[in-house]
Homo-oligomer: A and B are copies of this chain.
Amino acid sequence: MALTGILRPGLIQLRVTDLEKSVEHYVERIGLDEVGRDGDLVYLKGWDEFDHHSVVLRKAETAGMDFFAFKVDSDETLEHYRKRIEDAGVEVIDVAAGDQPGFGPRIAFKIPTGHRIELYAQVERAAYHPPVTNPEIVPREPRGMHASRFDHGLLYGPNVNETKDFFENVLDFSTAEQVDGEDNSTQIAIWLTCSNKAHDIAFVDYPEENKFHHIAFMLENWNEIGQAADIMSRHNISIDVGPTRHGITRGQTIYFFDPSGNRNEVFAGGYQYYPDNPTRNWTPDQLGKGIFYYERKLNDAFLSVVT
C-alpha cells in the first residue's frame, strides 16, 4: 500500500520537425541530459530521474505527441490494469520490451480524448542518475533552466467527462481540480493525480482528438522560474505566458514553445495533494483566474494553440 499502482508519468514521445534544434532546446536550454540516439529518435532525461530516459524526441513532419506513458509499480500491477482496461471495453495493444531502449514491455490504449496512453513496469536504471551512496544534493552543476524531471502533461480532446471517468474508475486516479461546464454537471477541464502532486496529467475539452497542449518540467522554486525566463529571453525562445502562477494547482509557471511549436512548461510549487482532499471546483466565469492567477484571464493561445 502507501504509494502503489500507477506511480508517475515516466515517458513521453514528442514529434519535432528539426531534431538538432530540438536537442539544443531540450538539452542546452531546458537542461535535460541526452541519453542516446537512434536514427530519428533522441532519448532524454532529467538529472533527478533514475530511469533510463523519460522524454523521446522523434523527427517527424508535424509537431505533437505520439504517446504519454505511466510507470506502474510491478508486473502484477501492469497485468491488473490490462484486465481493467479490457474490462472497460478498451482495446489494449502490446508493445514489446526493447521497443524503447532500456524499457520492458508496455501496454497501450486509446482514451476517449483520442490520445494514446501507455503503462509499463520495467525500465533500466540510467547510467547517470542521482547518487545513492552519500549523495550530494546535486551531483554536478545543473544546466540551462535546471529542469530536474518530466513532471506532467496537458492534453486537449473531446469527451473530457468520459476521460475523467476512465482515469478515476479504471486507472485509480483522483481529480484534484476541475472546471465545471456551463451546465455544472460536466467538466471542461480536469487535473488528475496518482500521487501527492496536484496533477500528473490534465485534460481540456477540445473538439479535435489527440491534441497536445504542453509537457511540463519541474523546477525547484519561483527563483528558478525567474532564471528560466532570463534564459528564454536571452535565447529568444518564444514565451506563451509567464512567469505567472496557476490558481489551479498553485504552480508557478512559464509556458513557452520548442522550435517545432510544441508548448513546454517549467513548473514549480503546487500544493501537496492527498486523495482525501476534496476536489477543487472552478466555475466557468473564474476559469481565467484558475489558469493564470495573476492575469485573471486566458490569453488567446491557451485555448487554441495545440500541436
Contact = CB atoms under 8 A, between A and B. Distances in A.
Interface of A: 1-8, 48, 50, 71, 73, 77, 130-138, 141, 144, 149, 172-174, 193-197, 218, 220-223, 226, 229-234, 239, 242-245, 247, 250, 252, 269, 271-272, 274-283, 286, 289-290, 293-296
Nearest to A278: B132
8 contacts: A2-B172, A136-B234, A137-B245, A196-B196, A196-B197, A226-B245, A233-B293, A243-B244
A220 to B, nearest CB: 7
B275 A2 contact: yes
A278 B244 CA distance: 33
Contact of A239 (B131, B234, B283, B294): B294
Contact of A2 (B5, B229, B247): B5
B4 A4 contact: yes
Nearest to A81: B1
Given A1-B5, A149-B272, A222-B226, A278 B137 contact: no
A192 to B, nearest CB: 10
How many copies of this chain sit in the oligomeric assembly? Answer: 4
A15 to B, nearest CB: 27
A130 B230 CA distance: 15
Nearest to A229: B294
B196 A3 contact: yes
A232 B233 CA distance: 25
Contacts of A4: 1-2, 4-5, 275
A50 B174 CA distance: 17
Q: Give the residue among A4, A193, A218 with the most B Cβ atoms within 10 A.
A: A4
A157 to B, nearest CB: 22
B132 A294 contact: no
B280 A138 contact: no
Contacts of A252: 226
A119 B129 CA distance: 36
A78 B100 CA distance: 41
Nearest to A138: B230
Nearest to A248: B135
A271 B196 contact: no
